[in-house]
Amino acid sequence: MEEKIEKNESYWKKELTPEEYHITREKGTERAFTGKYWDFHGKGLYRCICCGSELFDSETKFESGSGWPSFFTPVDDSKVEEERDSTFGMIRTEVKCSKCGAHLGHVFDDGPKPTGLRYCINSAALKFEEKK
């Protein structure tokens, strides 16, 4: 299990931009095709914008056509937590950072092999780190 970190609202407000705060701490969603990573192809690691936890590897990123960065697996299953989300009249599975609880996006079962999963993640919840 990841060691959890808990910070209050004012801490995150200070650390994050208003958009990052809205998406990660208030379960917001950036508009499709507007984030910095949906059409980004760097080789490296995507970390949680809030706590820096390693979440996704560029090796598992694929072109989903959705307008959000999409991955077929997290770096490790322990890195993310899933929760049922029934807002907006849809049943979806929310994906959160297991370390700090940040809302990342949703996971769908229409992804490519080998997992068949599509982790549809907000760019604003991620921070890319190039592989050295």
If one asks whether residue 53 binds Fe ion (CB under 5 A), the answer comes out as: yes
The bridge status of strand 92-97 relative to strand 103-108 is: antiparallel
Choice from 100, 104, 120, 126 touching Fe ion (CB under 5 A)? 100
Choices 8-16, 28-36, 92-100, 106-114 (CB under 5 A): range interacting with Fe ion: 92-100
Q: Is 48 a catalytic residue?
A: no
Measure the CA–CA gap between 17 and 22, rounded to whole angstroms. 9
Binding mask 32-51 for Fe ion (x = CB under 5 A): ----------------x-xx
126 binds Fe ion, rule: CB under 5 A: no
What is the contact surface with Fe ion in residues (CB under 5 A)?
A: 48, 50-51, 53, 97, 99-100, 102
